[in-house]
Amino acid sequence: MKKTLLSAIAAAIGFANGFFGSGGGVIAVPALCLGGLETKKAHATSISLILPISAASIFFYLQKGAFEWKTALLLSLPGLGGAVAGCFLIKKIPSIILKRIFGVLLIISGIRALIS
C-alpha cells in the first residue's frame, strides 16, 4: 500500500477510536488484510496500532473529565484475562473461521447501532 493511503487509514482508525471510544480495529483489520497481511497477523497488528491510539484518547478524555476510573479499574482485570484467552484461541482456529466470526460480530454490532 502507498504511504498516503496508509496514513489516511491510520487517521481513520485514530478518529474512530477517539470519536467512538473504541472501534479502530473495525477499520484496521480489514484495511490490513486488504494491504496483504494474513488475517491473524492483521488482528494482532491492529492491537499494536490501537494501544498508542487508545492511550492518546484516554489522555484527552481525562482532560475533559469524561473518564470513570472506578469502572475502568474494575473491568480491567477481567478484560486482560479475556485478552489472554483470545490470544491463545486465535492461534488454534483457522483463519477462515476467524474471518467469519469477525464478520458476524461486525454485522451484529451494526444492527445494534442502527436499532438502539
pLDDT tens across 46-60, in order?
888 888 888 888 888
The torsion angle over the Cα atoms of residues 77, 80, 86 and 89, rounded to 10 degrees, is -80
pLDDT tens across 13-22, in order?
888 877 877 7
Contact 13, 53 (CB under 8 A): yes
Band of the pLDDT at 107, cuts 50, 70, 90?
Answer: very high
Claim: this prediction has a pTM higher than 0.85:
no
Enclosing H/E stretch for 62: helix 39-63
Please give the single-letter amino acid code of residue 51.
Answer: L
Indicate the domain borders of the chain: 3-115
Please give the single-letter amino acid code of residue 32.
Answer: L
**SS3 (DSSP) at 35:** coil
pLDDT tens across 20-38, in order?
777 777 888 888 888 888 9
Contact 57, 72 (CB under 8 A): no
